[in-house]
Amino acid sequence: MKASDSTDTTAPYWRRETATRAGLIVDAKAYFEVGRKAMLKARKRIMLIGWDFDARIELSDERLPGEPRTLGEFVLWLVKHNPELEVFLLRWNIGAVKTLFRGTTIFTLMRWMAHPRIHTRLDSAVTLGASHHHKIVVIDDCLAFCGGIDMTSNRWDTPEHRDDDPHRVGPDGSPYAPWHDVTTILEGPVAAALGELSRQRWQAAGGAALAPVEGACDCWPDGLDAQFRDIAVAICRSRPEGDGKSGAPVREIEATYLALIARARKYIYAESQYFASRRIAEAIAHRLEEPDGPEIVLVNPFKSQGWLEPVAMDTARARLYGALEHLDCHRRFRIYHPFTQAGEPIYVHAKMTIVDDEVLHVGSSNLNNRSMRLDTECDVTIDAALPGNEAAAGEIRSLRDSLLAEHLGVSADTVAAAIETKGSLIEVIETLRGEGRSLRPYEILDLHEVETWLADNQVLDPEGPGEIFEATAKGGLLRGLRHHLHTHADRLRHRLHHPSRP
């Protein structure tokens, strides 16, 4: 399948290429292990393009003779044993400042910088307020990972999300909360396209122009089964105004989300770290007003991490959900949080959407304003409705069942059978969820007056560089939903005064 380049910056994708093999990797234990095996096969080049890296993490308990334990030493060991291998590491510059104070990281970084075949750069994300948020690894332009998992600390976990897992500790020995995440593995021309995107980003950050890697061989990790074969995969991006050669904004990810919401017939199942995008909420509102629209199930963390994110993200979620709840006459929209057996919240960092057993969309973008229009993001999409992709539908359905099973603490077969019987994701979740390891429904926070103002005016989650200081002048977070709410109120008043009329 030939590449399809999008020149329209609002089009749903940048490139569509074939993946000879592909799959979804769930949770960081599997990703770190598979990533290690893939990097062991690298011949010429490894590109690590990320928001964060921690050289102190251990990728796997499995090791070859003499292989070091930590990522930083592993990279040095790889180039030592392969004189043709070069490693390029690009990360966001603001996050890098904190990294310098992580244990021995500064010494590892100095050794990397001193090595002639290990190249490091910081992406300054030149647009005001933006961050470089890609989570991509490319090996020899023949294999790539693209999703939501950073190769950093406090990410490792398994689908079991066991309470007090002794392996779930940071490099300093401190335990951290259960963590859920996903990424994709992609082989073939689509990996070469992600390699091209990574080289572009490297050069934009001040690095030298890099040629593609020619004559790629088998980079697929040993022992890993492919869920998809010979399938078209679309790549979509977010990039703010002022970033890149043209300076034009790129909003392919937002266009993709809006198109997916509009096309859904039966259901949308999504996992996201945040739910704070005004435009996404408006698109959902349109579907909730339809008498036969799709069910929409969103899995979110119970609350955001840090001190700033709860103010910015959790308050916006509460405001958007409250507005949508008023419009949801048919009760087709739900937000749930996963919990462990002992009742500890599992932090959801995944950025993944499945639509109608037809579409699998995975990447670095969250359902918030920054990801749509301010930060640099990269997502990939598998669409079983495309000619030649029809066989993907069964695998996408199985992935949906296994992800719900992970969160509900039941088997995938149980989820599949319940959906087959009931035909409703929400009804299945409500039937299968319980105490302990399960999903629990979202409850709107009691927002403080100041937090409400911050959320409504998108002060901490702007839609682009032009709105960082202007959000209040344009009507705020709920400006697009207010029309829906007023129309809905008019309908209710009409029915109250004229009960016999439609």
Q: Give the model's pLDDT for residue 480.
A: 64
User: pLDDT digits over 66-112, tens only?
Assistant: 999 999 999 999 999 999 999 999 987 655 455 555 555 666 777 88
Average pLDDT, the chain: 86
Please check whether residues 307 and 429 belong to one and the same domain. Answer: yes
Q: Give the model's pLDDT for residue 373.
A: 87
Confidence band for 447, pLDDT divided at 50, 70 and 90: low
Residue 5 lies in a domain: no
Q: Give the model's pLDDT for residue 123.
A: 78
Whether residue 474 has pLDDT greater than 60: no
Residue 241 lies in a domain: no
Please check whether residues 216 and 325 belong to one and the same domain. Answer: no
How far is residue 153's CA from residue 132's CA, in Å, rounded to a whole number?
18
What percentage of the chain reaches a pLDDT higher than 90?
66
Please check whether residues 225 and 254 belong to one and the same domain. Answer: no
Please check whether residues 224 and 258 belong to one and the same domain. Answer: no
Residue 304 lies in a domain: yes
Residue 95 lies in a domain: yes
Please check whether residues 320 and 180 belong to one and the same domain. Answer: no
Please check whether residues 102 and 176 belong to one and the same domain. Answer: yes
Domain around 117: 15-230
The model's pTM is 0.89
Residue 500 lies in a domain: no
Q: Are 121 and 236 in contact (CB under 8 A)?
A: no
Domain's final residue, options 176, 196, 230: 230
How far is residue 293's CA from residue 322's CA, in Å, rounded to a whole number?
19
Average pLDDT over residues 8-29: 88
Sign of the CA dihedral running 124, 127, 130, 134: negative
Q: Which two tokens stand for residue 130?
A: 């933006």
User: pLDDT digits over 121-167, tens only?
Assistant: 887 655 667 788 899 999 999 999 999 999 999 999 999 999 999 99
DSSP lists the bridge partners of residue 175 as 169
Residue 279 lies in a domain: yes
Please check whether residues 84 and 181 belong to one and the same domain. Answer: yes
User: pLDDT digits over 164-213, tens only?
Assistant: 999 999 998 999 999 999 999 999 999 999 999 999 999 988 899 999 99
CATH of the domain at 392: 3.30.870.10
Average pLDDT over residues 272-297: 94
**Domains in the chain, number:** 2
Sign of the CA dihedral running 369, 372, 373, 375: positive
Whether residue 476 has pLDDT greater than 90: no
Q: Which of 483, 453, 489 is nearest to 471 (CA)?
A: 453
Q: Give the model's pLDDT for residue 1.
A: 43
Strands 118-123 and 377-383: unpaired
Decide which of 384 and 55 is more confident: 384
